[in-house]
Chain A
Amino acid sequence: MELLITFVKCVVALLIVLQVGLLLLWIERKGSALIQDRVGANRANLFGGLLPFNLGIVNTLMADPVKLFTKEDIVPDGADHFLHWLAPFVALFPLFLTYAVVPFGDVLVVGGTTISLQAVGLDVGILFVLAMVSLGVYGVVLGGWASNSRFALLGGVRGSAQMISYEIAMGLALVAVVLTYGTLDLQEIARAQGKLMWGVVPAWGVFYQPLALVILFIAGMAESKRAPFDLPEAESELIAGFFTEYSGSKQSVFMMADFVEVAIVAALVTTLFFGGWQVPYLYRDGFHFPGGFALAVPSLAVTILQILAFLVKVFIFCWVQILIRWSLPRLRYDQLMDLGWKRLLPYALGNVAVSAVLVLLLAGWTRAS
């Protein structure tokens, strides 16, 4: 029974990340069109346009995967066949696995059994996320190396240096968050944010660690290799960078990895800084507004509201990243390295130091663990 529940939760987590990734592909295409005052993808339709109306979203949810998966798979001359196959797998697999530790709800009560809505209730969740996100760099390096192309090799080398540089800032930003909550468990962190400050404001991480939020968000965007940090795949310089020699479904897996990375950054920001699945003033038995007004809500409705709140927050932060991606020009490589090593790293170190002192000085500043 335990195993079955775990299995179902793992399937649900995988479905969430797959759907978010696919929907982001559509949101990105329509969103970029909106920003650039175009209509965007609107031609794909079911049954060759026999329907009297255009199902815009069908474009991505069906046409794009079908097109990409039925393309020819080309491995260029002189490429290392095994590594050429391995690279897209290594790029996407750890990112999918990351979503297993992200809590997407509090608990689901079914017939007396209380199920924690997190596929894998890992007590070292943050470490797991960091480890998995770091593995993504192997996909970039292997893809660049195995293709036997100069553009791919340059993209792979650029990508590796960029991703490892921003990983330090990302790790240090997360240290400050761990200091605040005293735990690595993502579900516990989300639960801790259900309390209220001064009885009114929800105690979300953004109020305790604003600088860590900014650093984590910038470093996360750099890890996802999208503009303004898209130097590894800079199309005007390197054709497509590390996946120049990829086609068909292997190339689409690299694209998918980018979108899943966006979704992971959004999920991390949501869980650590914006209460995760928390709806303000909503507890397991219903709403308790400040001022004593209460409203009872059935347990199942509470769970559904929380899952919806989590998804809405994730999509808001995905949208912020898409807005940034279509608004800012690409950085130069020296600017990129300067930002990572000379700005984010010292700021993140300083943030850890200040947080540590404040945690000790103001015992009541944070929740005692």
Chain B
Amino acid sequence: VVEQTYVAVLISAGLCALVVAIMVGASRLLGQRTPSRAKQSVFEAGNRSIGDVKSHRFPIKFYLTAILFIVFDVEVVFMYPWAVVFRRLGWFGLAEMAAFVLVLGVGLAYVWKVGALEWE
């Protein structure tokens, strides 16, 4: 039965991939093609784009957010199996998870305190 479920996922994935691929490629197949220099240039307000975009710098805040996300999202992932069997675990399970969340809660309080969640 488990194999059948995942065969169904594969069938569904194949259908979705086909439809999305057709939608993405439709313009290439149906649309006109009259390329010109101005049309191919990158959008900018009337000027030519200067410098290399890939080396464009952006605030380090975004990296920090990504790192914090890894920490807390893994925490959430650990909570799912716990939540499913929670009734069987009872108070013991609650205490175990409370200890785990407390450690991460201290972490959250710390990043909050040092201002890692502030955006200026």
User: Interface of A with B (CB < 8 Å)?
Assistant: 2-3, 6-7, 9-11, 13-14, 18, 68-79, 85, 88-89, 92-93, 96-97, 100, 119-123, 126-127, 147-151, 153-154, 157, 160-161, 164-165, 167-168, 171-172, 175, 178-179, 182-184, 239, 244-245, 247-250, 252-253, 256, 333-334, 337-338, 341-342, 345-346, 349, 352-353, 356-357, 359-360, 368-369
Q: Are A334 and B31 in contact (CB under 8 A)?
A: no
B78: nearest chain-A partner, CB-CB = A175
Asked whether A97 and B12 contact (CB < 8 A) given A88-B24, A249-B26, A342-B117, the answer is yes
Q: Are B69 and A10 in contact (CB under 8 A)?
A: no
Q: Are A178 and B27 in contact (CB under 8 A)?
A: no
Q: Which 8 A-B pairs have the closest CB atoms?
A: A248-B27, A334-B119, A73-B27, A171-B76, A249-B26, A69-B26, A249-B27, A96-B16
| Contact of B113 with A by CB under 8 A | no
| Contact of B99 with A by CB under 8 A | no
Q: Known pairs A97-B16, A248-B26. 8 more at Cβ < 8 A?
A: A14-B19, A119-B12, A121-B8, A127-B80, A149-B43, A165-B69, A184-B80, A359-B87
Q: Are B5 and A123 in contact (CB under 8 A)?
A: yes
Q: Note all chain B residues with C-beta closer than 8 A to A149.
A: 42-44, 49, 53
**Can you report 15 A-B residue pairs in the complex whose CB atoms are below 8 A from each other?**
A69-B23, A74-B40, A96-B19, A97-B9, A100-B12, A100-B16, A149-B42, A149-B53, A154-B58, A168-B73, A172-B76, A178-B83, A249-B25, A334-B118, A349-B105
Q: Are A153 and B56 in contact (CB under 8 A)?
A: yes
Interface residues of B in 27-49 (CB under 8 A from A): 27-28, 30-35, 39-44, 49
Q: Are A369 and B87 in contact (CB under 8 A)?
A: yes
Q: Are B86 and A171 in contact (CB under 8 A)?
A: no
Q: Report the separation of the CA atoms of residues A171 and B54 in the bound assembly, to the nearest whole angstrom.
A: 32
Q: Are A247 and B27 in contact (CB under 8 A)?
A: yes
Q: Report the separation of the CA atoms of residues A148 and B52 in the bound assembly, to the nearest whole angstrom.
A: 8
Q: Are A77 and B41 in contact (CB under 8 A)?
A: yes
Asked whether A76 and B41 contact (CB < 8 A) given A249-B25, A345-B108, the answer is yes
A335: nearest chain-B partner, CB-CB = B119
Q: Are B84 and A182 in contact (CB under 8 A)?
A: yes
Q: Note all chain B residues with C-beta closer than 8 A to A256.
A: 23
Q: Report the separation of the CA atoms of residues A149 and B19 in the bound assembly, to the nearest whole angstrom.
A: 28
Q: Report the separation of the CA atoms of residues A161 and B60 in the bound assembly, to the nearest whole angstrom.
A: 11
Q: Report the separation of the CA atoms of residues A177 and B24 in the bound assembly, to the nearest whole angstrom.
A: 36
CB distance from A139 to the nearest CB of B (A): 11
- Per-residue contact bits, chain B 83-120, to A (CB 8 Å; 1 contact, 0 not): 11111001100100110010001001000100001111
Q: Report the separation of the CA atoms of residues A247 and B108 in the bound assembly, to the nearest whole angstrom.
A: 42
Q: Are B12 and A360 in contact (CB under 8 A)?
A: no
Q: Note all chain B residues with C-beta closer than 8 A to A369.
A: 87
Residue in contact with A77 in the complex, picked from B20, B42, B87, CB distance below 8 Å: B42
Residue in contact with B4 in the complex, picked from A2, A88, A147, A168, CB distance below 8 Å: A2
Residue in contact with B42 in the complex, picked from A76, A175, A250, CB distance below 8 Å: A76
Q: Note all chain B residues with C-beta closer than 8 A to A167.
A: 69, 73
A251: nearest chain-B partner, CB-CB = B27
B73: nearest chain-A partner, CB-CB = A168
Q: Are A72 and B33 in contact (CB under 8 A)?
A: yes
Q: Are A360 and B91 in contact (CB under 8 A)?
A: yes
A248: nearest chain-B partner, CB-CB = B27
Q: Are A250 and B27 in contact (CB under 8 A)?
A: yes
Asked whether A245 and B62 contact (CB < 8 A) given A120-B9, A345-B108, the answer is no
Residue in contact with B84 in the complex, picked from A160, A178, A341, CB distance below 8 Å: A178
Q: Note all chain A residues with C-beta closer than 8 A to B98.
A: 353
CB distance from B97 to the nearest CB of A (A): 7
CB distance from B10 to the nearest CB of A (A): 10
Q: Are A175 and B69 in contact (CB under 8 A)?
A: no
CB distance from A192 to the nearest CB of B (A): 14
Q: Are B28 and A73 in contact (CB under 8 A)?
A: yes
Q: Are A13 and B12 in contact (CB under 8 A)?
A: yes
Q: Note all chain B residues with C-beta closer than 8 A to A359.
A: 86-87
Q: Are A164 and B73 in contact (CB under 8 A)?
A: yes
Asked whether A337 and B117 contact (CB < 8 A) given A10-B11, A14-B16, A253-B24, the answer is yes
Asked whether A10 and B12 contact (CB < 8 A) given A89-B24, A148-B53, the answer is yes
Residue among B24, B43, B62, B120 having the largest count of chain A Cβ atoms under 10 Å: B24
A92: nearest chain-B partner, CB-CB = B20
